[in-house]
Amino acid sequence: MESANYFHLRELGGLEMIEAQYHQQKFSRHSHEGFCIGVIEDGAQQFFRTGENHYAPKGDIIVVNADEIHTGSSAVAGGWAYKAIYPTPEMFQRLTLDLKTDNYGVIPWFPNAVIQDPGLAAQLNLLFNLLLQPNNTLFKETLLLSSMSWLILKYNKSRVQPNDIPPAKQRMQDICDLIMSTAEQDHSLSELAAIAGVSQWHFLRQFKLHTGTTPHTFLIQARLYKAKKLLLQGEKPADVSNQCGFSDQSHFTRHFKKSIGVTPSQYTRHITSGGIHLC
């Protein structure tokens, strides 16, 4: 049996959390706006991240950086169960300002996709279970900050961005920004390459070097980011599908579940005015 519950925790600045058990689910290559920090509770997961495949059994911590392309599927016949939170880059960045590390004010980057740290895993499990309960906001905030601080101080290897960005990289970033702001539009390869000022072939190469994925996959992710925001605002899935440029609702639902792990309707049901809906 497969199940997935999604939570939007308004009392914690809109922090998102998932509690899931999968057997057949296979996440295609996708990314999240936020980091993914989770613990495998049962079974084992295999996933692609940072150019290679990884294996995470029960008790291991899984980490995916914000906007990082990754996949996910079961590594064993019995499937896998896990809980995970999705802190935003801004949440981590604010914390680095307080911690005053060498990478002061820089959004962290975690090179390890799988971490074996029983102490941190136990604290994260305590946090996850607490997040599913009402009240205790102070304790929740304390555990969240403590867990994120632990990750930064022990596992962060932030890649400091150079002051002078190469022109090609800046052009690709401009294209990414354009796609994110106009995700509902049916962009063409010739259009995007012309804006970047390169041939279509060179554009595809440069774009993948910059983002780790193809323009089409990036466009789908941009549409899903927009869709989540509209669903959080109370829009109906059928309306969101049209507003985000999907060809039809089934097309929208298929991509949403392959990326988020639940359907748009399930995601909407899990979000209530109180921030948590237990299913």
Task: For residue range 161-207, list pLDDT tens digits in order.
Answer: 444 446 778 888 899 999 999 999 988 888 888 898 888 788 888 88
Which tokens in the block code for residue 158? 């932030």
212: left (phi over 0), alpha (psi -120 to 50) or beta: left
- Looking at the chain, which residues constitute the CATH 2.60.120.280 domain(s)? 3-155
* 63-90: average pLDDT: 94
What residues does 15 pair with on adjacent strands? 9
* 245-250: average pLDDT: 87
Residue type, 220: I
* 2-17: average pLDDT: 87
**Is the Cα dihedral 16, 9, 56, 75 positive or negative?**
negative
User: What gap in Å lies between CA 44 and CA 38, rounded to an integer?
Assistant: 12
What residues does 86 pair with on adjacent strands? 16
User: What gap in Å lies between CA 209 and CA 204, rounded to an integer?
Assistant: 9
In CATH, which of 2.60.40.420, 2.40.110.10, 2.60.120.280, 1.10.10.10 is domain 3-155? 2.60.120.280
User: What gap in Å lies between CA 152 and CA 191, rounded to an integer?
Assistant: 40
- Looking at the chain, which residues constitute the CATH 1.10.10.60 domain(s)? 167-274
118: left (phi over 0), alpha (psi -120 to 50) or beta: alpha
Q: 167-274: CATH homologous superfamily? A: Homeodomain-like (1.10.10.60)
Contact between residue 87 and residue 148 where contact means Cβ atoms under 8 Å apart: yes
Highest mean pLDDT among 57-66, 91-100, 207-216, 250-259: 57-66
pLDDT confidence of residue 138: 81
Count the Cβ atoms, other than its own, within 10 Å of residue 2.
Answer: 11
* 224-228: average pLDDT: 92
> Is the pLDDT reported for residue 221 higher than 50?
yes
